[in-house]
Structure 1
Amino acid sequence: MTRRRAVGWTTLADVRTHLRRRWDDGQLLAAWAAGQPFHPVDVTLRGPVGRDLTDRFDEVRAWRQEWLAVVDRSADLQLVMKSVGRRSIGANELPARLVVDGGWEALWRLLQVTAEVRRFTQLRDSVPTGAHAAMLVNWMNAHPLRVLAHQPDAEWTRVLATVRWLVSERGHSRYLRQVPVPGVDTKFIETHRAVLADLLDVVLPADTIDQTVPKAQFARRYGFRIPPLYVRFRTLGATPPRLPGVPEMTVRLDSLEAAAADVGTVFVLENEITYLAFPAVPDAIAVFGGGYGFTAFAALPWLSARRVYYWGDLDTHGFAILDRLRATAPTVESFLMDRATLLAHPEQWVREPTQARGPLSHLTPAEAALHDDLVAGTYGAAIRLEQERVGFPHLEASLTRLLS
């Protein structure tokens, strides 16, 4: 009997669950934090109908008494009654709506969140006075549940202290590793990157943030140093290496901005073994590691005076990388990323797990046609030819034609 009533008729627990949704999305606490006036909360109660007075009279009476007891225990709650009944049994006054009209504190008591509200108040009041205090408090008022998600309270205190250091030290050639806040390290910053970025976007002038850089690249976006990029390359021809007896080197990318390679041709290769085994080519070097992150290498100013070939996997991602490189260095040419190479190795085709489907505007007509065929599955569903699967005789023959 009790189980049937719990399913069909509204209980106090049901009301709390209904209102809890508005608490969980933050709108109730944000309204209170912003100083908005309290408006009585009116919740419709799903209760007995006339037939229940005949069929389930004892349950109806128990349900009514439970609600009367609820409002008797709290002056903050009011019941609105309605008349329900039939001629055979007479009209009965039953609860129809529960009204919370005792203010915000009454609503907090009903939701059993008084402790959380008190904790938010304490965290908000703990914001140190200073130039950005008002902006930080306004952000906290708008996002109270994000503040409460930081436990214990000392964690939020460290977040605010980190924001103060980030604001004062940005643009001073600092690494994030140098943060002096007790209990804060680079892992802490990475873990709390989203909230730190939102707070910095609020307190910093927009023109001091690199808006072209996503929040995921936290250090670059907010003016902190990032680890340098390194480039690995080897001499392919008879040209003497920069260091006698050292045919292969790894150097910082920023060092290559001024130190141009004394060669006429540059091959950018994706696969390490292919890079190491690449045949001898006069007046050329091989660079290992193209990929999506290699756009910075393509931006080296002296590359525009060299002939640059990119050889990546013959799949949609390989063409996407080529397209991105060309956006920075329009003269980059593809190597072994053609239909003849694909069709010469059908036994080496594998399946591309996920295809890159974005628009590519920097491909040649032949490259674009092949890319479209890969997307359309002209030769098979999501096929790909990885660089390391291209036969070495095919590579050597292609190089011979290229050099001739």
Structure 2
Amino acid sequence: MMSEANSRPPWGLLPKDAVELLRAKYWNNTKSLKGLLIGNKEFPIKVPLKPPKGNAALNNISHFQEFVDSWKSICEQAQYESKQVNVRWDTVTFRSLSEQRLPAYLIIPDISSLARMLGDAEEQQLSDWQSRIAYIFDSLSIEFVKRTDHSIRSTYERELFSALVVNLETLSDFSDADAELLVKLIPQLHKGMGRGCYLRALPVIFVDTKFIEKNLRFIESVTAAVIDCSVVEMGLLNWLDCRDKPKDWLLVRPLCKNSADSFGGLPLLRMSSETLLDFELPAKNILVIENEQSCLSLDNIPDTITVSGGGKNVSWMRADWLTNKRVGYWGDIDSEGLCILSDVRSRLSTVIPLMMDSETVEAFRDRMVNEPESVTREPVALTDRERMLFRMLRNGDYGNTRLEQERLPMDFVYEKVRLWAGCGVLEL
């Protein structure tokens, strides 16, 4: 049997079909909905109801009757409830059915009519949005409009309304308390007020800084609308002169007592890349290790501090203080590991690679595995021998394509690290 949808003729759009079309095209389509609210998309919306032509009505008289009766019922119910549904009716003369008045277009004049047509849930949603926007708009207008002359007031109001609508998803999740925090916060903000502190230390009253952090993009949009349009280009953190919280913590581990004493005896600590750009580590030898576990396997290397766990994050290695150190880099021998080595050398030309050569691969090729994804673009800052190794790994000349640093035996690792650090070989 054919389904109802498949058996229905292509003419005669029923009210339920029109509602679903409006919901999909305008309400559930975020871009279209915001455009309607802001005014980028214009009302009225005209939905063609596709009345039948020629003998089509006679060929499916039951659908024809349902089509006409359902729209009559919609109009009568709206009139009874003192609500407006704009349906344009046209008079059509059929040879077999004589003259008929048929629904031709559903006309939606404004956003309230659209919500009303869609149902109670959409009406309530629109009411909530309007109430929240009105509260924020009025509260900030009282604060800022009194500071501005009439010539720029309309621009300010338009930009603020647009900012609120653009952030409709965030606004929908706001509680009354959140809205109050927003209107208390915005008037306190001014350029450079952070003075280089972290965002959580921003000197504001009444408002908690977690609220600012959670709603950073929304606050940025509103601040740009009512205070300074350059906020969008600069970003709110830069405009406030705030430092973002560190996201790239690296494991710093002294490998001898003297180095540990320089940190108050701490055996391990975390530092961000930003910190390491300016903070000189108190040891002659700085060993950068891709993997934290490999770092934890080392000990008793004089005048040496390791930095590990950064993976591809080697941006801090452009630090000026590293030029006065003996710096080594140890990572996996695979295409990605050699790419990271290339990035390191691009920042610090004096870096010394450890255990990332063809001799190490040949010695332990039986411990190799396959690299999940091989880098295809050849790194630019490799030596000729490193570049040859990269090509051989990428071509599968060793069978497998990765020798992980954790698979190297500790006696071999200690020998290489201590020779690099200039302290000879330690008997294990």
Q: Name the TM-score, length of structure 1 as normaliser.
A: 0.73
Conserved? CA contact 1:220–1:226, under 8 Å: no
Matched with 1:261 is 282
More displaced, 253-262 or 7-16? 253-262
Give 1:1-400 correspondences, 5 Å limit.
Answer: 3=4, 8=9, 9-20=12-23, 21-23=25-27, 24-34=29-39, 39-46=43-50, 48=52, 50=54, 52-72=56-76, 73=78, 75-81=84-90, 83=92, 85=94, 87=95, 92-100=100-108, 102-112=109-119, 113=123, 114-116=126-128, 118-119=130-131, 120-127=133-140, 129-130=143-144, 134=156, 137-140=160-163, 143=166, 145-146=168-169, 148-165=171-188, 167=190, 170-178=193-201, 184-186=208-210, 188-199=211-222, 203-204=227-228, 206=230, 222-224=241-243, 226=245, 232-235=252-255, 240-241=258-259, 243=261, 248=267, 250=269, 254=275, 257=278, 261-263=282-284, 265-278=285-298, 284-296=304-316, 298-354=317-373, 360-371=379-390, 374=393, 383-396=401-414, 398-399=416-417
Conserved? CA contact 2:184–2:206, under 8 Å: no
Measure how far apart 1:251 and its partner are.
7.9
Tell me the distance in 1 between the aligned counterparts of 2:93 and 2:395.
66
Measure how far apart 1:389 and its partner are.
1.0
Query: Residues 116 and 365 (structure 1 numbering): CA distance in 2 closer, same or farther, change over 3 Å?
Result: farther
Measure how far apart 1:44 and its partner are.
1.5
Conserved? CA contact 1:210–1:222, under 8 Å: no
Residues 16-67 of structure 1, C-alpha deviations (whole Å, 9 max, x = no match): 3323332332445544445x79543211224556555334323311221211
Q: Kindly tell me the number of residue pairs found equivalent between the two proteins.
A: 390
Q: In structure 2, what residue type is equivalent to 1:152?
A: S
Q: In structure 2, what residue type is equivalent to 1:17?
A: E
Measure how far apart 1:268 and its partner are.
1.5
Tell me the distance in 1 between the aligned counterparts of 2:190 and 2:200.
15
Measure how far apart 1:308 and its partner are.
1.1
Gaps of 5+ in 1: none
Query: Residues 93 and 276 (structure 1 numbering): CA distance in 2 closer, same or farther, change over 3 Å?
Result: closer
Identity, in percent, stands at 22
Residues 320-375 of structure 1, C-alpha deviations (whole Å, 9 max, x = no match): 43343334323223222223323433333334455566774333344344445555
Q: In structure 1, what residue type is equivalent to 2:178?
A: E
SS in 2 for 1:149: helix
Conserved? CA contact 1:5–1:59, under 8 Å: no
Tell me the distance in 1 between the aligned counterparts of 2:72 and 2:407.
79
SS in 1 for 2:382: coil
Q: Which has the higher helix share?
A: 2
Conserved? CA contact 1:299–1:329, under 8 Å: yes
Conserved? CA contact 1:319–1:371, under 8 Å: yes
Tell me the distance in 2 between the aligned counterparts of 1:4 and 1:198.
45
More displaced, 139-148 or 221-230? 221-230
SS in 2 for 1:43: strand
Q: In structure 1, what residue type is equivalent to 2:113?
A: A
RMSD: 4.6
Q: In structure 2, what residue type is equivalent to 1:15?
A: A
